[in-house]
């Protein structure tokens, strides 16, 4: 790809909004140069009007949960009744249907300005638990779906071995289980990274991986310097069961088995003790907040502010895809904290955008993404400043406008590796994303 120049009407550079920025993308898909004070577009430059920010990182996704949208809003219930609907959808997935659904979901993410997704992937096998001819057929389908939608993926291949603290998997969970952590490690070792894809690891939860096998997963990730994610203390029932089984909190159990550390991210981290927060912060274990899912499932509000203050970097995810909107996730983290504390201003707009960009990419193993600077991956997205939601504020308040007023519908452009994936609000690779979503979800109804 030859050198390409983009002219950014306004650009968020991490600390402030700069008008008139020329950004050059090299043949390697990285930012080669960035010049400020460029008042008019250079000849031949592609013009991006609005506010351009680094590509958003969706640090926690279960792509197939997108098929649950609205279905699980009928009636009432809890996380555990919601899970029964999730199992029904999971049972109907095949490599072919999962590719079609994930391609559409990742295209929806691109339309929302997301350039990188952390896919917490645990549907590994055929119905009944028999491996496919290619044991990684489902993971490969997700990797190919991301490529077809034009975004990056960190496949967080998930160990899921138990229905709860040593109990055998239930019939729904047989598709998820490799039997042992050693068998999981053997299977996942056959997955290979490629240009748009990294391979990471995940522990589904302390209830789903027996304590004596946690270290196997942690060691696999450590040996490869790969990201390691884990659902942590999402439900009080899980905390209580862990105390009953092991006499300690899930966080302490993970610490005792070497799971915590700077490449590890705890997802949700909702119901924590003071000791848990100190452990996570002291080991610089990350925290991925998923506010739209946490409120949808009535999980509770996690102590994000205290965790960050203790030393835990924050990232954001759309998790069950009740909505796919990282700007809403960032806004919700602040607004939820306001509701709990009855005070305002826990994070600046710059800090919230950092969680949605640089710190999210770092949690997914991409330290060279999430910044508009020379040498970084040329992944960025442009948010309209003239929509009914964003019109009016001064452009220098673009970060505040993006976080506290804009939605995914205001994304106009998404560029990944210098390649225009969304142009003027239309996906360039998936011509009709709504139809792709409708058709792939209908195929799962059986």
* Measured distance CA(441)–CA(438) in Å, rounded: 5
Encoded tokens for 122: 């645990």
Nearest C-alpha neighbor of 263 from the set 365, 142, 373 = 365
CA distances 260 to 79, 167, 393, 435, 443, Å, are 26, 24, 42, 42, 39
Q: Is 182 a catalytic residue?
A: no
DSSP β-ladder status, 419-423 and 426-427: antiparallel
* Measured distance CA(235)–CA(193) in Å, rounded: 33
What one-character-per-residue DSSP string does 389-433 give? TT-SS-GGGHHHHHHHT--GGGEEEEEETTEEEEETTEESSSS-H
Nearest C-alpha neighbor of 157 from the set 86, 219, 98, 221 = 221
Q: Which of the residues 276, 319, 325, 410 is marked catalytic?
A: 319
Q: Is 256 a catalytic residue?
A: no
Asked whether 123 and 135 are in contact (CB, 8 A), the reply is: no
Encoded tokens for 397: 């308040």
* Measured distance CA(6)–CA(251) in Å, rounded: 45
Asked whether 246 and 253 are in contact (CB, 8 A), the reply is: yes
Q: Counting beta carbons within 10 angstroms of the beta carbon of residue 422, is it exposed (0 to 12), middle (13 to 18) or buried (19 or more)?
A: buried
Place of tokens 């603290």: 165
What strand order describes the sheet that includes 228-232? 56-61, 114-121, 152-159, 197-203, 228-232, 264-268, 286-289, 314-316
Q: Which of the residues 204, 229, 268, 361 is marked catalytic?
A: 268
Q: Which parts of 170-323 are beta strand (E)? A: 197-203, 228-232, 264-268, 286-289, 314-316
DSSP β-ladder status, 31-35 and 17-25: antiparallel
For the chain, how big is the Rg over CA atoms in Å? 21
Element (H, E) at 381: strand 380-383
* Measured distance CA(17)–CA(14) in Å, rounded: 8
Cα dihedral sign for 378, 381, 385, 386? positive
Active site residues: 268, 319
């Amino acid at each position: 790809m030859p050198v390409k120049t983009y002219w950014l009407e306004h650009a968020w550079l991490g600390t402030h909004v700069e008008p008139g920025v020329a950004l050059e993308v090299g043949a390697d898909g990285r930012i080669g140069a960035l010049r400020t004070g460029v008042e008019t577009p250079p000849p031949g430059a592609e013009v991006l009007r609005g506010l351009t920010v680094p590509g958003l990182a969706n640090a926690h996704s279960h792509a197939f949960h997108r098929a649950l949208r609205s279905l699980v809003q009928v009636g009432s219930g809890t996380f555990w009744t919601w899970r029964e609907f999730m199992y029904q959808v999971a049972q109907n997935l095949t490599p072919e249907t999962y590719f079609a659904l994930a391609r559409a979901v990742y295209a929806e993410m691109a339309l929302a300005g997301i350039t990188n997704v952390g896919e917490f992937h645990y549907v590994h096998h055929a119905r009944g638990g028999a491996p496919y001819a290619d044991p990684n057929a489902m993971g490969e389908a997700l990797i190919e779906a991301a490529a077809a939608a034009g975004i990056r993926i960190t496949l967080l291949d998930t160990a899921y071995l138990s229905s709860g603290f040593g109990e055998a998997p239930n019939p729904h969970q047989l598709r998820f289980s490799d039997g042992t952590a050693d068998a999981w490690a053997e299977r996942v070792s056959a997955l290979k990274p490629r240009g748009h894809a990294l391979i990471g690891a995940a522990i589904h939860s302390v209830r789903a991986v027996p304590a004596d096998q946690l270290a196997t997963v942690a060691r696999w990730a450590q040996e490869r310097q790969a990201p390691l994610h884990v659902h942590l203390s999402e439900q009080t029932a899980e905390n209580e069961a862990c105390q009953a089984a092991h006499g300690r909190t899930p966080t302490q159990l993970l610490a005792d088995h070497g799971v915590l550390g700077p490449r590890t991210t705890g997802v949700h981290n909702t119901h924590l003790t003071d000791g848990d927060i100190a452990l996570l912060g002291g080991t610089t274990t990350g925290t991925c907040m998923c506010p739209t899912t946490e409120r949808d499932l009535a999980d509770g509000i996690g102590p994000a502010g205290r965790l960050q203050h203790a030393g835990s970097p924050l990232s954001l995810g759309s998790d069950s895809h009740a909505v796919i909107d990282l700007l809403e996730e960032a806004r919700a983290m602040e607004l939820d904290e306001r509701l709990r504390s009855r005070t305002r201003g826990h994070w600046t707009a710059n800090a919230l955008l950092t969680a949605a960009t640089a710190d999210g990419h770092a949690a997914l193993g991409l330290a060279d993404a999430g910044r508009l600077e020379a040498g970084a991956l040329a992944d960025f997205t442009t948010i309209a400043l003239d929509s009914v939601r964003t019109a009016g504020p001064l452009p220098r308040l673009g970060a505040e406008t993006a976080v506290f007023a804009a939605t995914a519908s205001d994304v106009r452009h998404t560029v990944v590796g210098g390649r225009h994936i969304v142009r003027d609000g239309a996906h360039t690779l998936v011509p009709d994303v709504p139809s792709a979503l409708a058709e792939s979800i209908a195929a799962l109804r059986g």
